[in-house]
Structure 1
């Protein structure tokens, strides 16, 4: 049975992707699974369809998952040029279909790079998200005209079904990142507080004065306060310091 049949319009691709979300260890693993499913959508056994998914997040480098090295290199090139079918689809929220890079001058820089790698046609399909992030699925083929209307419809249906699972994956990733940042901040605070206690004992001063002593030393030595606190503890306590979460 054709692998893409599970993603025909009217099928429940969303449930498959939500199950993928449940078993994935994190956002990167989910995107790897998503790009594999996306590749199956348009694969028909006649010509290889290379696929990638690009996720753009503010203040972060693009997260890219790909079905092969060629797809990865093409996604990296689009990201570097900030243009191409995938990047344009992510930016505009509209599908971008290039039937033949040899005849279509819409993307002169990327089109030239694609042709050098034997790629003749490309398709960028946006995945709609509800936050500051944007994403798109990129399909490319060595055959011109590889994406007729029915394949574009399949790809757009898959992207629509992928929208909710990817939104959930992003929310989980944000929660995980916040928890990690909070844990790191608490670890840092623990180190600073214990170092302040050491300085209080050594100098018979208040906690505020001990913190100010460390801040002054941190500034004069161009060292982070936490790193300075760690050095204070290393020089006085023969044991590692950690925060315990019950």
Structure 2
């Protein structure tokens, strides 16, 4: 890696680090990662991110062009491919030439038909589980080397950090919303039945247990009957 290239990489990594901490949407941050991959890694003609959702579902995000989304759909259809393999199993999945790739007998010919000859996918890690994969595609075969893998690994780490921060923020918002609704329901019960907050909470807890209903759902029912 040349000194100039190292400097460019360091500058872009610093910019991406700031975006993770800044108040931007997850899609904006991930789009920055894929665009940076296209700029810094020679031979990247398309890039995208495949996220793993609950129950093993997948979500295609942050595409530089529509091509990664189309390729992700093919992988979902065929239940095979490098992006899924990187998201669930291997850390780095590299294909130098899809015309010679035998791991995915249905997906590989479809890539060639769409003009994609090479692919490079990186697993996104979070603290508790795999988040998905950063996926790069090229129209030329035998495009990438160890340097490309190194840069892609760093970019994948930034993407994983953004996903983790987003999930933690969503969990915090959900927890605050739950606390607020339970508090609101307690206030309604206290006023309606002239009890204190401990007794009001105990009433909701008992109802939740007896009816096998989540406490937050009981709270919402109380709020809904306020009128």
Please give the range of the TM-score, normalised by the shorter of the 2 chains: 0.7 to 0.9
C-alpha RMSD of the superposition = 3.5
Change (3 A) 1:232 1:20: closer
How far apart in 2 are the matches of 1:7 and 1:152? 18
Match of 1:84 among 81, 84, 89: 81
What is residue 39 of structure 2 aligned with on the other side? 40
What are the Cα deviations for residues 79-122 of structure 1, in whole angstroms up to 9, with x where unaligned?
A: 45442122223321133214133x43321222243244x23413
SS at match of 1:119: coil
- Asked whether the 8 Å contact 1:218–1:228 carries over to 2, the reply is no
How far apart in 2 are the matches of 1:219 and 1:168? 37
Change (3 A) 1:162 1:219: closer
Q: Which ranges in structure 2 are unaligned for 5 or more consecutive residues?
A: none
Match of 2:221 among 199, 209, 228: 228
Match of 2:97 among 88, 99, 102: 99
How far apart in 2 are the matches of 1:165 and 1:67? 17
What is residue 70 of structure 1 aligned with on the other side? 67
Relative to structure 2, which stretch is displaced further, 19-28 or 173-182?
19-28
How far apart in 1 are the matches of 2:152 and 2:63? 15
How far apart in 2 are the matches of 1:38 and 1:153? 14
TM-score by length of 2: 0.75
Relative to structure 2, which stretch is displaced further, 73-82 or 211-220?
211-220
Tell whether 2:157 aligns with 1:161.
no
Report how far residue 153 of structure 1 moved.
2.9
Match of 2:130 among 110, 133, 154: 133
Q: Which ranges in structure 1 are unaligned for 5 or more consecutive residues?
A: 235-246
How many residue pairs were aligned? 216
What is residue 51 of structure 2 aligned with on the other side? 55
Relative to structure 2, which stretch is displaced further, 189-198 or 67-76?
189-198
TM-score by length of 1: 0.70
- Which has more radius of gyration? 1
How far apart in 2 are the matches of 1:208 and 1:42? 57
What are the Cα deviations for residues 33-66 of structure 1, in whole angstroms up to 9, with x where unaligned?
A: 101111223456xxx7111122335557434321
Match of 1:124 among 105, 117, 120: 120
